[in-house]
Amino acid sequence: MKNMLISPSLLAADFARLGEELKAVEAAGADMLHLDVMDGVFVPNISFGMPVIASLRKASSLFFDVHIMIVDPLRYIEELAKAGASGVTFHLEAAEDVGSVIRAIKARGMKAGLTLKPGTPVERLLPWLPELDLALVMSVEPGFGGQSFMPKMMDKVSAIRREADRLGLGDLLIQVDGGVARDTAAACGAAGANCLVAGSAIFGKADYAAETEAIRAAANGSLG
Ligand code: DX5
Ligand code: ZN
């Protein structure tokens, strides 16, 4: 059976205890850690940046899956690499030249991810698939945790899955972010996702391991 990768979003963690929260999701079976960087311009919220990522890096060797919701992403690739990002996913709406951002991420030895807001057509992302390690479908408006899952976005996941299969991109990660929980995970898996971000669903529960496993099991049940 295929195994859904789970990337807990630290945005929903207790920021007074970030190191402990990181250790806890790691022990709970997280495959990666999702770090949401927001600039208050591309999205109407501000989260955290390089110093936080760099401090967490010292405490863990987990894959750091950094999702940047910032304008002019090219400007910060170098600093994200220095801070310890393993992969960087940026918004195509925010980049003047998508190709140069992808190349800059890879040139620093990181995995390159591309994403889009719910209102942006998936056709704008599809041409980049051969150059990407990860394609992220946002299933909420970026900016805040705890919002409701938008099932309609699974059409984008299916379109990416079809195109990836057609091109033979077997290693591509197709990730869903926003409102993912045990009751929405199956739809993600059925549409062809192989990696799920979950923030409030995991950090909002007392038992992170049980929730991580419940999300993975629900998603795996729908995988081929
Ligand atoms: C939203 C962020 C998400 C967020 C998900 O802009 O990209 O990663 O933390 O939170 P939940 O899982 O609570 O929807
Ligand atoms: Zn995110």
Give me the DSSP letters along the chain: ----EEEEBGGGS-GGGHHHHHHHHHHTT-SEEEEEEEBSSSSS-B---HHHHHHHHTT--SEEEEEEE-SSGGGGHHHHHHHT-SEEEEEGGG-S-HHHHHHHHHHTTPEEEEEE-TTS-GGGTGGGGGG-SEEEEESS-TT-SSPPP-GGGHHHHHHHHHHHHHHT-TT-EEEEESS--TTTHHHHHHHT--EEEESHHHHTSS-HHHHHHHHHHHHHTT--
User: The whole model's pTM is what?
Assistant: 0.98
Of the residues 31, 65, 133, 177, only one is catalytic, namely 177
Query: Ligand 1 test: best mutation among 6, 7, 9, most atoms within 8 Å of CB?
Result: 9
* pLDDT tens readout for residues 91-150: 999 999 999 999 999 999 999 999 999 999 999 999 999 999 999 999 999 999 999 999
Of the residues 31, 36, 39, 65, only one is catalytic, namely 36
**Which residues, given as ranges, of the chain have pLDDT below 50?**
1, 224
CA 199 to ligand 1 center in whole angstroms: 6
Annotation marks residue 65 as catalytic: no
- Please identify, by atom number, the ligand 1 atom nearest to the C-alpha of residue 178: 14
Annotation marks residue 177 as catalytic: yes
